[in-house]
Amino acid sequence: MTAAGAATTALAPVLTGCGADTPGGDTRLKLVAADYGDKEANSSRKYWEGLVREFQKQHSKIKVDVEVYSWTEVDKRVADMVAKGKAPDLAQIGAYADFAAAGKLYSADQMLSIPTQADIIASLAKAGEVHRVQYGIPFVSSTRLLFFNKKLFAKAGIAKAPENWDEIQSAAKKLHAIGVKIPFGLPLGPEEAPAETMMWMLSAGGGYTDQNGSYLIDSPENVKAFTWLRDEMVGQGLTGPGNPARTNRQDVFDAFCKGEVGMLNGHPTLMQQAQAGHIEFDMAPLPGIKGPSKSTMGVADWIMAFKKNGHRDEIGTFLDFIFSKDNVLSFTTQYKLLPVTTSAADAMEESRANSDLWQFLKPLRQAAELYPVSKTSWASVSKTVKEKIGAAVQKGGDPAAVLGEIQREANATELADRSDR
């Protein structure tokens, strides 16, 4: 899962060199990165090209070759490179735990300078740990808020954003009564079902894991959340005509930007899309059972360094450059994402030009909870959630049984991972 995940088109890689050490003693690093743009005009390749140019002005002996791929293929590209024994020096992708568990990555303290390590937001740094050692370095992050269409709310006579489940249902009924196609968008399709699932788990006081990091997917709180969604939202026709199990996030985002959705859970990049669609919208904290949710979901994308080519010192120099305050701000403000360093977050909070991101930034630094990405089993569990969670809210669906099945598969995967170690 990704902080943005906006790219849907496979873009050809941009190459800045051949990717091998040169005879003259210069070192060449290879970085494979994800594209946060959704078209050629805003491709991340332009950011990396500019960054590399500036880096090489200061470090002429370190050359950097960059390949940029869409989110639909970048993780597989890196996995294939590693399987063929041709791991890049650096990969900026969605998950790191499998590579760390296999002993293929440098730890953060082997590469980053002490000031850079200290600058990374502590909760995000901790999320990059496997067995209490940090291997995943957060690259960008995001949180989630409730988006709502101000015109549709006014037309339906809804005075303020919902703060709890009862108010969500009440607002959705009013929107439904005036003919809004999708009163509440509920994307439980395969694109980002684990995210929507986690938001509802957190709103009920649950989550994917307990305080010790053990899976607790079929907890009473989680079952309560999906029983309520089945009976009080989907069963009442308040989530639109489509089947939530086959509804992807971007489908709902697109509908919101056409004025067809009253409210939905969204991340920062939805602001740009809604503005482009001339939608008057506002945002509010995610509702919980009795009041605003005590925590919200955070997502981070990761950068990691492979040991294969032995360029530890040069990698560390480049990473310190990547995580300078100005470079972090340049990327996050361009793509409406959140910084992962304290210095850049402080600067964003002081900049009125970035005031639209302040609501998202506050929970990142206080109450955001991330996927259990440090568990090597998470990739498999996430896949299972994508395949099965939608059935829990369908007519005749059994949330306890669906969540119980996902829990059993998670336990089995976790046990298999431990035995492999």
Q: How far, in Å, CA of 43 to CA of 31, rounded?
A: 16
Categorize the per-residue pLDDT at 16 as very low, low, confident or very high, splitting at 50, 70 and 90.
very low
Residues with Cβ within 8 Å of 300's Cβ and at least 6 positions away in sequence, in order, are 3, 124, 127, 128, 138, 139, 140, 141, 340, 370, 373
According to CATH, the topology of domain 27-142+299-370 is D-Maltodextrin-Binding Protein; domain 2 (3.40.190)
Categorize the per-residue pLDDT at 24 as very low, low, confident or very high, splitting at 50, 70 and 90.
low
Amino acid at 143: T
pLDDT at res. 181: 98
How far is CA 151 from its chain centroid?
29
Whether the per-residue pLDDT at 22 is higher than 60: the answer is no
Q: Does 415 or 13 have the greater pLDDT score?
A: 415
Average pLDDT over residues 149-174: 98
Average pLDDT over residues 69-83: 91
Average pLDDT over residues 61-85: 93
Q: How far, in Å, CA of 78 to CA of 9, rounded?
A: 17
The string of pLDDT tens digits covering residues 278-324 is: 999 999 999 999 999 888 889 999 999 999 999 999 999 999 999 99
User: Where, residue-wise, is CATH 3.40.190.10 in the chain?
Assistant: 27-142+299-370, 145-295+377-420
Biggest CA pair distance of the chain? 73
pLDDT at res. 85: 96
pLDDT at res. 8: 33
Q: What angle do CA 194, 199, 202 make, to 5 degrees?
A: 120
Confirm if 287 and 162 have CB atoms less than 8 A apart. yes
The string of pLDDT tens digits covering residues 182-213 is: 999 999 998 889 999 999 999 999 999 998 88
Residue 301: other Cβ atoms inside 10 A: 26
pLDDT at res. 211: 87
Average pLDDT over residues 156-160: 97
pLDDT at res. 18: 40
Categorize the per-residue pLDDT at 25 as very low, low, confident or very high, splitting at 50, 70 and 90.
low
Whether the per-residue pLDDT at 176 is higher than 90: the answer is yes
Q: How far, in Å, CA of 12 to CA of 169, rounded?
A: 45
Averaged pLDDT score across all residues of the chain: 91
pLDDT at res. 254: 94
Categorize the per-residue pLDDT at 21 as very low, low, confident or very high, splitting at 50, 70 and 90.
low
Domain 145-295+377-420 in CATH 3.40.50.300: no
Percent of the chain with pLDDT over 90: 77
Residues with Cβ within 8 Å of 254's Cβ and at least 6 positions away in sequence, in order, are 273
Confirm if 67 and 45 have CB atoms less than 8 A apart. no
Nearest to 124 by CA among 337, 420, 380: 337
* β-strands 281-284, 261-266 pairing: unpaired
pLDDT at res. 190: 86
pLDDT at res. 2: 54
The string of pLDDT tens digits covering residues 105-153 is: 999 999 999 999 999 999 899 999 998 999 999 999 999 999 999 999 9
Q: How far, in Å, CA of 168 to CA of 417, rounded?
A: 40
Q: Which residue has the tokens 């969605």?
A: 94
pLDDT at res. 420: 63
Whether the per-residue pLDDT at 64 is higher than 90: the answer is yes
The string of pLDDT tens digits covering residues 323-333 is: 999 999 999 99
In this prediction the pTM is: 0.85
Residues with Cβ within 8 Å of 173's Cβ and at least 6 positions away in sequence, in order, are 183, 236, 238
Nearest to 237 by CA among 173, 166, 287: 173
The string of pLDDT tens digits covering residues 347-394 is: 999 999 999 999 999 888 876 889 999 898 998 899 999 999 999 999
* β-strands 145-149, 281-284 pairing: antiparallel
Q: Which residue has the tokens 């590469």?
A: 111
Angle between helices 378-388 and 399-420 (to 10 degrees): 160
Average pLDDT over residues 217-244: 97
Structure tokens at 194: 């684990």
The string of pLDDT tens digits covering residues 84-105 is: 999 999 999 988 999 999 999 9
Q: How far, in Å, CA of 377 to CA of 414, rounded?
A: 6
Average pLDDT over residues 232-255: 95
pLDDT at res. 13: 44
Confirm if 268 and 337 have CB atoms less than 8 A apart. yes
